[in-house]
Amino acid sequence: MENLLNLLKMSILGGATGWFMFKVLKMHTFGHLWGAVITGIIGAYISHNLLRGALDDFLPNVLGTNGPLGVNIIAALIGAILLVWLLSRVSPT
């Protein structure tokens, strides 16, 4: 059950990042808004799992997996931003 809640938290964080980058920063991607949101969710999930241990050493109790949310917010944001930015670079305008 905890893994499902963490997946939901990462989906909200990645989706909000994709929405922000598409609507506010005007980064156009494949699939427009839905493409940015889905890409943000995928990026948040992948980077959370890849960087989970590395960033927990630096921020163990604030924003790491031991923090109040149980999701490494910094890692999820890095992955979501990076993947949406990458998609916007390869997408035709």
pLDDT for the residue 34: 92
pLDDT for the residue 38: 93
Domain residues for 54? 2-90
pLDDT for the residue 58: 62
Number of domains the chain is built from: 1
pLDDT tens sequence across 15-43: 999 999 989 988 888 888 899 999 999 99
pTM score, whole prediction: 0.82
Is pLDDT larger for residue 67 or for residue 41?
Answer: 41
Q: How many CA atoms lie within 13 A of 29 on its CB side?
A: 25
pLDDT tens sequence across 41-56: 999 988 888 876 666 5
